[in-house]
Structure 1
Amino acid sequence: MKILIKNASIITMSKDREIFQNANIGIENTTIKFIGDIEEGFNPDKIIDSKDKVVMPGMNNSHTHIPMSLLRNYADDLPLFQWLSKKIWPIEDRFTSEHVYLGSMLSIAEMIKGGTTAFCDMYFGVEEIARAVDETGIRAAISRGMMGEDSTNDSTFSEVRSLYRNYYGAAEGRITVMAAPHAPYTCSDKYIHSIMNLADELNIPMHMHLSETREEVKECLEKYGKSPIEHMEELGLFRFKTLAAHCVHLSDKDIDIIAKNKVSVANNPGSNLKLGSGFAPVKKLLDKGINVALGTDGAASNNNQNMFEEMNLASILNKALCEDTTVVPAIKAIEMATINGAKAMGLDENTGSIEVGKKADLIIVDFNKPHLYPRLDIVSSIVYSAQASDVSHVIVNGKVLLENYELKTIDFERIIHSVDKVTKNLY
């Protein structure tokens, strides 16, 4: 399959952050073949005229829990630990494989329509999540959230091995797998060591919630005399490539540890704000050269999967917190949502930017909208003005998943009918 995208403005997010005007992109099978002038002899099967549109890399949602879309607006305006223990975990205990699958399909539909081409997930029922990824054409790094005191007779370890065996590299290479100790307050040291042994066995990276709330940090200091970051370093977790979600309450020592160990941080502005957790010290992290990506967290705590909203929040809130308009400029916010997310998931060699030889994971944003005029600066427009609903086309691995705002791989009416049916019974 050959696709020609023509007459586009292009935000590449390549190393030099090149921007092209009135240019073309050639896609052959799964890969970007050329950018700029149309190569001689290139005969496309499909032409997408992108006049008045901007092409950019797809968004990489670096931390979420996609089946939780079924819990959207269920338990709002509660403190995190009360929200989890009194509301979320009890109803999740009632989830079946059908709930996980339908919640995944609902979230993936939302993500595709909003310009997300890859996501990093932590949940249970992981083979149902992988099935949804396979069917819909999106890209994903999937991890089974693991909580416990002792790994003896713990079936989650078998689930991770099964996920790795059945799905790692599956779906035309769109699925990868991570190990995921949930958090320091839900995993004993012994249990974390068992997960590290599993990660060694499978040669996979780590994905973990860290330092999300003051209460978590306080509890860890009281129990171990160390912050969650210090404690995980002492346990040896950071010898693995690690994606740390949240990292809201960090000391300067914590930040130095994160930098030294090349840990990626998934900043989740919307979720952290809504749950009252605080706001991560993004400027300090960036100043230390730390790879900061963006995530939505689950739709139960956000309550959406809108990466355009996360870009906007990451930029404007950091300016206010630092009282400095130069903090997290628009191009940095796009970087966090695209190439940094790909790097956090270990996918940056293949995706996260529009470059010849990389996978064709890209989106087209329709600028023929009132809120995007006048067209003075397309980078600023993407971060400060554009909406997820402005995405007209999504291509992943060279396959069109959204065309003229229409989902091509998901029967949306069937999904929402099924979601309505199962949630009525669930609640």
Structure 2
Amino acid sequence: MRTTFVPSRKTLAEEMEDLVKTARGDKAAALVIENARLVNVVSGEIQPGMSIAVQGSRIAYVGKNASHTIGEKTQRIDAKDKYVTPGLIDGHCHIESSQITPKQFARAVLPKGTTGGFFDAHEIANVLGMKGLRLMLEELRKTPMAGYMQAASCVPSTSREFETSGAEIGPEEVAEAFTWGDDMVALGEVMNFPGVVFSDEKMMGEIKETLKAGRVADGHYTWPSGDWRMSAYAASGISGDHEITSAEEVMDRVRLGMYAKLRRGSAWHDVVPTIKAYTEKGIDTRRLLLVTDDRSPESLVDEGHMDFVVRHAMEQGVPPVTAFQMATINTAERFGLSQDLGSVTPGRYADILILEGPLPEVNIKTTIAAGIVAAEQGEMCGDWESSGFPAEAMQSVHLQPNFKPDDFHIAVSQEFPDGTYTARAIKVRENHVDTKEEQVQVPVKNGLLTLPSTGDLCKISVIERHGKNGNQSTALLSNAGFSTPAAIASTTAHDSHNLMVIGNDDALMAEAANRVIKMQGGVTVLTEKETVELPLTVAGLMSPEPFEKTAEQSREVSRALASAGCTMNYAFMTLSLLALVVIPELRLSDTGLIKHTDEGFYHVPLLMEEQE
């Protein structure tokens, strides 16, 4: 029977007396699970023949026999010796990167066993500021999930010198966000790590407000970690990081008291190298978390969410109970919420999974969220209201659809007469968040840089879309694979989310840009044979449509890119990061080409020197 969910997660103080009454048998439980093979992530063991009694939104009793808690109206579930685990928790996730709203995200992941998460909404915050952050929080509160929000720390990710975002957030705004409720639990990933290491006033102020509010701060650090700078970063109070791509980087962070988040997104395949810190180096796992960071909508449908990541960790040699710990209790402890989340123990929220089949398959049969059966056999058992979206969120692309092919020409100065020159190109890397600087030979004719007649070199252009200054910068991109005339335009361009256009044909680039503007945000792929569109009308980042429809539209984007020769795994996810200036090595923002080094980041010219 389908129902309308009315989320009612209460504090332990509010429910404590009823929990105690239920545990001693003076008050009938609302729900009892019997004959469970309990995966106890606290003790690290599997307990057969266990029962769990639930009262309200929390667990009242765990033991061999819960018959004393059963009344006439108690809902009873016979687990039939199936594995029962805590609900899975994502320790670092951007909902907007899944291109769906918090409501649709919850609908997508609850049947797959994700009952909670720690969400950094810095994507929408870079477009709408505090209003966007509040919109995400209010929408998340209406779902059955244990959804916790983080105050966006880097809006913009660096400074106005390097990029133009739609808003700014500083120490005062961070302090305000922490007054919105106990579900505002942390400062989101601090990507401006040079600003922390060298005591930028804004960054230090945001961290200080976080610590004053008794919250924790999350990190994003991509410098080599073998020198004094990582200690300086950790000394600020930043205590977790997900930008980790090797076992050595995991160990460096853990040794400094930080939590290491091992990422397996759609296009970021970092668990394989990073998990070796445990499987080969033997490091203690209590500070290791499994996270997704970014998952595309079609990967949520095709592969899953945290269930997929846990399964993937086991495939790398992690014992099953340990893998579940890294997606439940470890995550809860990292954010100081283990009294509420992360284990099937008395007093905790009744976020419980019943699995079908062997534990390593992570095949979710039943998802219970806050004591309510939310999903069965991969399907939601009910629905809940959406908060809706204000006009400001639905009209966030402040551009006119009048781009022409010559807007994507690359003019050069008179210092470069006709000839062939060395230019910098951003080299995209499949399944990696970082890029490389590649030096390529390009012809200049009549004051314009043109693409070589062979190879897959194409143009990339970033256009300010927030109505601030109208900046546009155009550069070169290599290794995208385009083998036919094609273009893609998108307002998903981390993190300032300006309009990004990539292609090897100026006319197609102009048309793709105009189409995205007319949609008020989204993705358009154009070739000479077809047009594929994915409207993302909520802040130019998310679709209000059911996640199933968005997944199919996203799948069409991937197919169209592949047909044009861009065959990278989840190509759009990788391309969407090319404007993220805080990740090495070469990026493009609306202000120009930006090179990232061990010393920091700075603007660099496109053309380097004459060759012939």
For the residue of structure 2 that corresponds to 1:210, the secondary structure is coil
Q: How much has 1:113 moved relative to structure 2? A: 1.3
User: Is 1:163 matched up with 2:177?
Assistant: yes
Partner in structure 1 of residue 368 of structure 2: 395
1:177 matched to 2:306: no
Q: Structure 2 CA distance, aligned partners of 1:418 and 1:355?
A: 33
What is the one-letter code of the residue matched to 2:321? I
TM-score where L is the length of structure 2? 0.50
Deviation for aligned residue 1:160: 3.0
Match of 1:25 among 47, 52, 60: 52
Pair 139,417 (structure 1): closer, same or farther in 2 beyond 3 Å: closer
Name the structure 2 match of 1:293. 289
Letter in 1 for 2:186: M
1:55 match: 84
CA distance, structure 2, for counterparts of residue 382 and residue 307 of structure 1? 14
C-alpha deviation, 1:335, in angstroms: 1.7
Q: Alpha-carbon deviation of 1:343? A: 1.9
Query: Is residue 2:276 matched to residue 1:283?
Result: yes
Aligned residue number for residue 111 of structure 2: 113
Local SS of the residue matching 2:342: coil
Q: Distance in 1 between matches of 2:142 and 2:547?
A: 17
Match of 1:352 among 338, 342, 346: 342
Residue 403 of structure 1: how far off its partner (Å): 4.7
Matched, 1:382 2:359: yes
2:330 maps to: 340
CA distance in 1, matches of 2:144, 2:245: 33
Say whether 1:264 aligns with 2:259. Answer: yes
Residues 287 and 329 (structure 1), Cα distance of their counterparts in 2 relative to 1, 3 Å cut: same
Partners of 2:142 and 2:56 in 1: how far apart? 18
Structure 1 unmatched runs, 5+:
71-101, 170-174, 212-219, 222-226, 320-327, 373-380
Q: Could you tell me how far apart the structure 2 residues matched to 1:17 and 1:197 are? A: 40
- CA shift, 1:260, in A, is 3.6
Q: 1:248 aligns with which of 237, 245, 248?
A: 245
**Counterpart code for 1:284:** A
How big is each residue's C-alpha offset from its partner over 1:321-344, in whole Å with a ceiling of 9 and x where there is no partner?
xxxxxxx22222122122222222
Does 1:200 find its partner at 2:200?
A: no
CA distance in 2, matches of 1:314, 1:136: 28
- Partner in structure 1 of residue 309 of structure 2: 310
The answer on 1:329 being equivalent to 2:319 is: yes
Equivalent position of 2:590 in the other structure: none
Match of 1:122 in 2: 120
- 1:246–1:54 distance in 2 versus 1, CA, 3 Å: same
Q: Is there any run of 5+ residues in structure 2 with no aligned partner, and where?
A: 1-28, 123-131, 162-166, 387-542, 558-612
CA distance, structure 1, for counterparts of residue 251 and residue 324 of structure 2:
25
Q: How far off its partner does 1:138 sit? A: 0.8
Q: Given the alignment of the two structures, is residue 134 of structure 1 paired with residue 141 of structure 2, yes or no?
A: yes
- Aligned to 1:136, the other structure's residue is in SS state coil
The DSSP-based 3-state class of the residue aligned with 2:45 is: coil
Residue 179 (structure 1) shift: 0.8
**Alpha-carbon contact 2:97-2:296 (below 8 Å) kept:** yes
Q: Per-residue deviation at 1:128?
A: 2.0
Alignment of 1:52-131 (within 5 A): 53-70=82-99, 102-124=100-122, 125-131=132-138
Q: Distance in 2 between matches of 1:27 and 1:177?
A: 26
CA distance in 2, matches of 1:230, 1:112: 42
Matched, 1:148 2:148: no
CA contact (8 A) 1:69 1:104 kept: no
Structure 1 length-normalised TM: 0.69
* Higher helix proportion (structure 1 or 2): 1
- The Cα of 1:57 is off from its aligned counterpart by 0.5
Q: For residues 312 and 302 of structure 1, do their structure 2 counterparts lie closer, same or farther at Cα, with a shift above 3 Å needed? A: farther
| CA deviation vs aligned residue, 1:295-345 (integer Å, no higher than 9, x gap) | 11212499435112111222323x4xxxxxxxx222221221222222223
Q: Deviations over 1:29-84 (max 9, x none)?
A: 222222220242532532223236432100011111012211xxxxxxxxxxxxxx
Q: What's the CA shift for 1:158?
A: 4.5
Distance between the aligned counterparts of 1:312 and 1:277, measured in 2? Answer: 14
Query: Which residue identity lines up with residue 176 of structure 2 in the other structure?
Result: S
Cα distance in 1 between the residues matched to 2:259 and 2:385: 35
Identity of aligned residues (%): 17
1:163 maps to a residue whose letter is A
- Largest Rg, 1 or 2: 2
Higher RCO (CA < 8 A, seq sep 6+): 1
* Larger displacement relative to structure 2 (37-46 or 153-162): 153-162
Q: Does residue 1:8 correspond to 2:36, yes or no?
A: yes
The corresponding residue for 2:70 is 42
1:12 Cα deviation (Å)?
A: 2.4
